[in-house]
Amino acid sequence: MVSFKINEILQRLFLLKLKFSQICFNINKPHMFKNPWLTGISLLFVFSSCSSVYMPNVPNTPMLTKAGEFHGGGHISLKGNISANTAYAISDHVAIMANGSIMDNNHRKKDFKQILLEGGIGYFDTFGPDKRRILEVYAGYGIGNTDRTYKDQTYVGPVITDVQEVSFNKFFMQVNYSAKKKKDLRLFGHKYPLNYGTALRISHVGMQDFTRNGVSQPLEDNIFLEPIFFTRMYISKTAQLQYTSGSTFGLINRDYLTAGNSVFTIGVVFNVGGANGK
């Protein structure tokens, strides 16, 4: 029953992604400009889902509660971006984290590859009834690189028309708020506790090198606001399924380093050595 619901969610999100892709593919057709409102909405989706050389990873939301607790998790998006997050509480209020993501997505008209690594340190605290609410604040630094290749399909096969290679660094700060075991999901007579949470990450991403077809290009930077919401369902005492949804907003108008990708992922997370919240 649980796997059926997850599959249904993934199918619906895939259909939504497919519709956005069709808009991107058809944007240059004349009929798209007959209705200015349709054109405006279509352009909004295109610029928010098709144009960025920066693919955000899943923000780390470890929900730590005490010293010695370890958090780990893996997530995958509809676009094939795989994120891995870890965190460790070195005291009752201080934690360190390490994050990474990798994507290798090949299509008929575009290939997209990215690797991103991050590290950070932060503060966490529990409060509220039975200490079930958790507040976390983290800051960190990351490095990454992106390769984006555009192709035309011809009778002799694909012909490469544009190769973009970008290396970048990233400074980020984020605030997480979550609640443990706030509600239960009942399935087949069993209770599955649910956790809810939200995070706001502010990231400054700056190009260190940018070439197109081997020619150096002007460097860009941007400041991204990345709010996300997540729901976790316990499948054991330490492991949980997590669904994450979020958006990315760029504060500076750029040509390549734009807010072109959002976060929609399914993953598994686990915490070892923490308080049970009871």
pLDDT for 267 beyond 80: yes
- Condensed to tens digits (0 to 9), the pLDDT of residues 23-51 reads 333 433 333 334 433 333 333 333 334 47
Q: Spell 201-236 as b/e; 16+ CB within 10 A means b.
A: bbbebebeebeeeeeebeebebebebbbebbbbbee
Q: Which residues contact 104 (CB under 8 A, 6 or more apart)?
A: 80, 113
State yes or no: pLDDT of 12 exceeds 70.
no
How confident is the prediction for the chain on average, in pLDDT?
Answer: 83
Out of 46-50, 81-85, 249-253, least confident range: 46-50
Identify the structural domains of the chain with CATH numbers, from first to last: 1-50 (no CATH), 53-272 (2.40.160)
**pTM score of the predicted model:** 0.78
Q: Can you give the pLDDT at residue 163? A: 96
Contact partners, residue 127, CB within 8 Å, separation at least 6:
133, 135
Please state, in angstroms and rounded to a whole number, the distance separating the CA atoms of residues 54 and 220. 11
Interhelix angle 2-26/36-49, rounded to 10 degrees, is 120
pLDDT at 136: 98
For the stretch 160-210, pLDDT in tens is 999 999 999 999 999 999 998 766 666 666 677 788 999 999 999 999 999
